[in-house]
Amino acid sequence: MATTRAEPEVIYEGIPASPGIAMAPVHVTARGFSAPEVYAIDESEIGREQDRFQQAIEITKRQLIELQSRLEDLSGATASSIFETHVMMIEDRAVVQRVLGTIADRLQNAECAFYAVMQNFLEAMRRIPDPYLRERTADIEDVAQRVLRNFSADSDARHTGPDDQHILVAYDLAPSDTALMNRRHVLGFATEQGSLNSHTAILARAFGVPAVVGLEGAVIDVMALAPAILDGYTGKLILHPAPDTLARYQQLAEAKARIRSSLEAVRGAATETVDGRPLMLSANIEIIDELPLVKRSGAKGIGLYRTEFLLLNGEEMPDEKRQVEIYSKLTCEMAPHTVIIRTLDAGGDKLPVEPLTDIEPNPFLGWRGIRVSLARPAMFREQIRAILRASSAGQVAVMFPMISGLSEVWRCKEMVRRCMDELEKEGVPFDRDLPVGIMIEVPAAALCADLLAPEVDFFSIGTNDLIQYTLAVDRVNPYVADLYRPTHPSVIRLIKRTIDAAIDHGIWTGVCGEMAADIRLTPLLIGLGVEELSVGPQKVPDVGQAIRSLSYAECAAMADEALRHNRSQGIFDLSLALARKHYGELLD
């Protein structure tokens, strides 16, 4: 039995990115090299673990000296000096003594102690302003990974590794990391970087994984395997929670479970307001594995299938045949409901469609969205053909991202017409009346919505980008996160302008951005005249209950007042007051 020590409760505060409570040991992962297995040791085992560390250092030193000798024979002393520097790193007495001390202080295995010391050192290096010194982190990571590989594999069954349920603490997570996360093991995650509106946070909310971002210093300070509570409601990571803290969070988790249960009872019920205004409630999905979650949620179709996540396993889109298989599966599984497939929306803070020769100075204003597809007609053609072929299996619509003007719409529609003609000549079945829609996420598109509406069958407002482009706020930049305001008067007016233009031309308008999933803002969106909301599957029950609790007439009167308001907070408060009045239990 390993020795345990009473530790004081420590609270880290960040930004709540995805609601929920997780209670589990912490697993810490640093950038650049893989985390080792972690297990507790007894005080009597300290000497053994310190010896294991010293042995790993000696093995690594011999390997590096041998590499240095080989490289001298091949290319001379200049190139081989790289490994001389690496040898000096692992001989650094300060590092060695700190690892030995960490083994004794933490009562954890040698690999864990070494990893903790090195990740601390690396994170400190990354914060140095000098770019040359920052670049040296790659050398340190290389040496550290080599040392970790050279530990003897004599760990026993007592270890608790990433295959057990845990709370992940990381410097940052890419959207692909989040999408591929094993959600049976990762009960929640906390990162130093990121913002409320980053794609990583959006995916966490879609998957129902509690998440906190903006936890400064967490990777350096947090001890692996420490018992923890992650509070995705208030943005806290609590290490070594005191008994009363643990009891309080257990009660909170139980209360939330009761609310979940009550929502489950009305899953799949019609989503219309108390005075009879219907709203379509659909789901946003990233990967096909989410289909069972969508079905359980009660969503009436898929309002946004993000095809850029087809790039997860490589830098190229799957070929036409594979895309047809994926889109057809979605269509058949969701029948008789509609699946709206958004064409590739790569670039910006999303997955890249291909490596660029030159780094874009401002990728959010660069090569992304429909611009990529129009610049790669062969790839675009394959995707459109695949969508059309899948339309023979059920209800499918296509939607184009980041449209800024009529010329882009015309070019997209021309590609659709060409692909239809090709498939017709080939005798391949498809829906000739395939609905075509566009994303309204650039202010230019909202301002000329009256010109765009006659050309399409529907609008879908991507509020995430619409807000950031309207307010000139990078939504993944923590320095300006407080300026990202969904209820800014300019944003609300652009949404209203878009909806009115759609009504005038007989088409419908939906919202598929994060505003759609925020039940504090559901009254405002309903009042503005939105006809469809598409949200992450986990949020469908909440949003559905919010819709069923509201009166359209009351929401419309509130929205009229909001459009006359001159402050973001004031508009937000109007919507929140109506939400609290009708479904306060969902907000607490």
Q: Are 485 and 471 in contact (CB under 8 A)?
A: yes
Contact by Cβ (8 Å): 298, 282 = no
Token code pair at residue 403: 């449209």
Q: Which of 86, 159, 166, 199 is catalytic?
A: 199
Residues 393 and 166: their CA atoms lie apart, in Å, by: 41
* Beta carbons within 8 Å of 260's beta carbon, 6+ residues apart: 541
Cα–Cα distance between 205 and 517 in angstroms, integer? Answer: 9
Do 423 and 471 contact (CB within 8 A), yes or no?
A: no
CA distance 564 to 148: 62
Instruction: Count Cβ atoms below 10 Å from residue 516 Cβ, excluding itself.
Output: 29
Output DSSP code: residue 45: G
Kindly state the tokens that stand for 163: 């295959």
Dihedral sign computed on CA atoms, order 8, 12, 13, 18: negative
CA 437 to chain centre: 25
State the Cα angle at 518 between 512 and 520, rounded to 5°. Answer: 140
Active site residue 199: yes
Q: Which of 112, 412, 419, 512 is catalytic?
A: 512
Residue 351's DSSP bridge partners are: none
Distances (CA, A) of 403 to 407, 409, 441: 9, 7, 8
Tokens representing residue 470 in the block: 């309207």
Alpha helical stretches, state H, 43-109:
46-75, 77-91, 93-106
Nearest to 280 by CA among 531, 61, 34: 531
Beta bridge partners of 24: 228
Distance CA 168, CA 102 (A): 21
Other Cβ atoms within 10 Å of 269 Cβ, number: 13
CA distances from 55 to 35, 104, 105, 320, 468 (A): 19, 17, 20, 53, 53
Cβ distance 140 to 121 under 8 Å?
Answer: yes
Active site residues: 199, 512
